[in-house]
Amino acid sequence: MTALDRRSILTAGLAAAAAASAAPTFGAVSTRDAEPVIDVHLHAYPQSLSLPAAATNPITGEKSSILNGADHMEACLTEMQRWNVVKGVVSGGDGDRMQAAIDWKKRDPDRIMAGAGIRGSKDVPLPPIETLRAAIQRKEISVLGEITAQYAGLTLSDPIYDPYLALAVEFNIPVAVHLGTMPPDTPFDPCCTTARTRHGRPETIEEALVKHPGLRVNIMHSGWPYQEETIALLMLYPNLNIDTGAISWLLPMEAFHAHLRKFVEAGFGKRIMFGSDNMFWPGAIGLGIAAVKTASFLTKAQQRDILYNNAKAFLNIA
């Protein structure tokens, strides 16, 4: 199956998953005089990679003129400027994943932090450790992730990731790992035949945390739907944070807000970071921000923590 076919499955699957709920409405949320935002969960694609029809937002149905990875980059950067996203962590989602992220950083070095998106499957083998070390030393890469071990039928605690996690500790760079569930029919995609829901349970990263003290980890998508496991890990390991991920705009708003509220009420409001998981859809950035801003149970201070302050601390941004 070609990369294009895989993207078609992802697009169709997400659209089907979202079809049960209407497009969210965000009332009076506006970009005017927007306070600064940090997005810790963005995706890039190789500049020449064709993205036919994939840019149609599965929630809003909005169509765009995006044709390739270069168009996607420009559209996302425009959306970031519109919503005052002053810093974004981006990792590659296809092809040469490291280079796709580095291209974004070259395009807007003050705004973009490039992450090394790694998996460890036959389809997406791990990069040579010395290649990654050199990219970190050149300041091209400043985050290890998104690590999509679940798609390879693995977990972060698998020994194949140990040299990479040790490198993250050595250079004091944060790690971002996909946890939770995956798009519909993922195990039937030839890329991911060993992918299983059990590999996305948050508890599967614990051995890696113990083996690599000091590892700073972002649990992407806040480990949804395994909320209790995520809370247990947050209680035990203070070097963990979570991000909001795609559930902020793919889930019905009532469901996302209920999920977010439980973390806040459990006392972890300082450990939640905004992450849009934009994938093919630049408009997801604004949808995700609006989802946080319309959570009526958040105080203004809590909202600012999620949208900016927590990520600034986690990423060691001066």
Residues 248-268 pLDDT 10s: 999 999 999 999 999 999 999
Q: Is the pLDDT of residue 32 over 90?
A: no
252-269 burial, b at 16+ Cβ within 10 Å, e below that, comes to ebeebbebbeebbeeebb
Report all structural domains of the chain as residue ranges with CATH numbers, in order of start.
3-9+32-314 (3.20.20.140)
Distance CA 15, CA 31 (A): 26
pLDDT at 301 over 50: yes
Average pLDDT score over the chain: 91
pTM: 0.92
The stretch 194-216 carries a mean pLDDT of: 97
Lowest mean pLDDT among 39-53, 57-71, 216-230, 286-300: 57-71
Query: What is the pLDDT, as a whole number, of residue 62?
Result: 80
Q: How confident is the model at residue 22 (pLDDT cuts 50, 70, 90)?
A: very low
Hey, what are 61's tokens? 């149905």
Q: Is residue 4 scored above 60 in pLDDT? A: no
Residues of the chain with pLDDT > 70, as a percent, come to 89
What is the average per-residue pLDDT within 146-165? Answer: 98
